[in-house]
A = this chain, B = another copy of it.
Amino acid sequence: MHQRNVIMFSKSCEYAIKAMIFVAQKSSEEQRIGVKEIAKGTDAPEHFIAKIMQDLSRRKLIHSIKGPNGGFYMDSHDLKNSIADIVKAIDGDSIYTDCVMGLKACSEKNPCPVHFEYKEIKKNLIKMIEHNTLAEFKEKLESGKFFLKNK
């Protein structure tokens, strides 16, 4: 048996989603959040999350400014991004395209044994990640009904 099985998202992607939600909550154009704070707020290793933030920044999902009082922040446009946008940036679109059995040839006309059943599940999965935007999380989390931290 294997140690850890990735369900849905890679570890990088999990960190990315948590970091984005964290920054969405705390930041503004004036108030930027540094890597150290993000690492603490999301229980992620500092240098590793730094790499991930770079990716997200390069892909224009978040803004960054170097130097004193620098850090990461989101503008109102960034807040419109959904979990799906983060997943696509970090893990690619395999969640949209891949057969759950890993069959490259699997399709509507050449379906694997669970193709049609999984199709429905996948639809709901995609709905879930697409309709949850960072702006909505900001609201949800402010209400105190949800949690991000792991300890």
Which residues from chain A sit less than 8 Å from chain B, CB to CB?
1-2, 4-14, 17-18, 21, 55, 83, 89-92, 94-95, 98, 100-106, 110-115, 117-118, 120-121, 124-125, 128, 132, 137, 140-141, 145-151
Contact = CB atoms under 8 A, between A and B. Distances in A.
A7 B149 contact: no
Given A5-B6, A6-B5, A18 B121 contact: no
Nearest to A100: B8
A119 B30 CA distance: 37
Contacts of A98: 5, 7
Contacts of A10: 2, 5-6
Given A112-B148, A113-B21, A113-B137, A100 B9 contact: yes
B114 A141 contact: no
A142 to B, nearest CB: 12
Contacts of A148: 103, 112-113
Contacts of A1: 55, 89-92
Contacts of A104: 150
A9 B55 CA distance: 26
A18 B137 CA distance: 39
Contacts of A118: 128
16 contacts: A2-B12, A5-B10, A5-B94, A5-B95, A7-B7, A14-B101, A17-B101, A103-B147, A105-B147, A105-B151, A111-B146, A111-B147, A113-B148, A114-B128, A117-B128, A121-B125
